[in-house]
Amino acid sequence: MFALALHGGAGTIARASLTPALEAAYRAALQAALAAGTTLLAQGAPALDAVEATVRSLEDCPLFNAGRGAVFTHDGHHEMDAALMDGASGRAGAVAGVRQVQNPIRAARLVMEQTEHVLLAYPGADELAHAHGLPLQPPAYFFTQQRFDQLQQAIAAGRTQLDHAASPGPGPAPLGPDPNWKKGTVGAVARDQRGYLAAATSTGGMTNKRYSRIGDTPIIGAGTWADARCAISCTGHGEYFMRAVVGYDVACLMEYKGLSLAEACRVVVHDKLAPVGGEGGLIAADAAGHLALPFNSEGMYRASHSMAGEELVAIY
């Protein structure tokens, strides 16, 4: 008896831009990540191992804005953030702005298990990963042409953009909202066979971001949270999620107001975030194995495996 949910970002490629082949590729990647986590859970592995494996699968896929395929900063770098939290122990680890670590989620777990800290930033986080033998990669590993083209469009338009504007053709990208923007953060939450919970989140951030901007993903309680009651992984416009302390707010609504997981998530995503412009969503699991996958954007790349063994893979 276990449950797992994952996301590959809220907001989606506009339906008109999503070819059958590209949709099939996204669905296959989501299914592969789901299988990576559920296989471990079925074998009795801890929830923490399952969410790490699920996120690593998504980091390795260039379709998502995490790990390989992360978006570019204004200066042409990749600055990646990740975090994970173990609900059973309350321990957490996170990294911000790493540039060389192949799987930032592994570095986040290293911070949790091998240091007395919770959050390390570049360059120290990369140095820790190197010291403990985690695979490091040159910039070319993380490069994808699509992400590079997005950077050029964002620079020409003078904007910092949330992933994932599909190439609109020659010339500068239009100012204002783009129907193809996608918040490409990835994440996973799980309830293992012992009833313990864990959450993990990873992202490349925003295209054309400057000044080493850091979003909600590595901020424990904002983009990532897990305790004995619930596990949360968020995706969306990080500044809003940080201000709302989204992950912890869901847990507090459950603890102090006695709301169910589904109702607490609904209140946060639709009643609190949406009215102030906080577009995005989250995935959540509780100790009973209930799952919630709410979002206030057009869609959210997502997949889940329920306690009853039912599986879902969806985009819109």
Is 144 in the active site? no
Residues 315, 23: contact at Cβ < 8 Å? yes
Half-sphere exposure of 119 (CA within 13 A, CB side): 14
- Dump pLDDT digits (tens) for 60-94: 999 999 999 999 999 999 999 999 999 999 999 99
User: Domain extents for the chain?
Assistant: 3-314
Is 235 annotated as a binding-site member?
Answer: yes
* Percentage of the chain exceeding pLDDT 90: 87
- Count CB neighbours of 66 within 10 A: 34
Report the chain (316 residues): mean pLDDT per 10 consecutive residues. 96 79 96 98 98 98 95 96 98 98 98 98 98 98 94 90 44 41 82 98 95 96 98 96 98 98 98 96 98 95 98 96
Is 69 annotated as a binding-site member?
Answer: no
Q: 0.85 exceeded by the pTM? A: yes
Is 215 annotated as a binding-site member?
Answer: yes
Name the region of 296 (left: φ>0; alpha: ψ -120 to 50; beta: rest). alpha
Is 237 annotated as a binding-site member?
Answer: yes
Choose, from 38, 54, 73, 185, the residue flagged as catalytic.
185
Q: Write phi, then psi, for 153 (nearest 5 degrees).
A: -65, -40
Task: Name the architecture of domain 3-314.
Answer: 4-Layer Sandwich (3.60)
Rounded CA-CA distance 34/8 in Å is 11
- Dump pLDDT digits (tens) for 180-235: 455 579 999 999 999 999 999 999 999 999 999 999 999 999 999 999 999 999 99
* Helices 124-131, 104-114: crossing angle, 10 deg rounding: 80
The two tokens of residue 250 are 């869901």
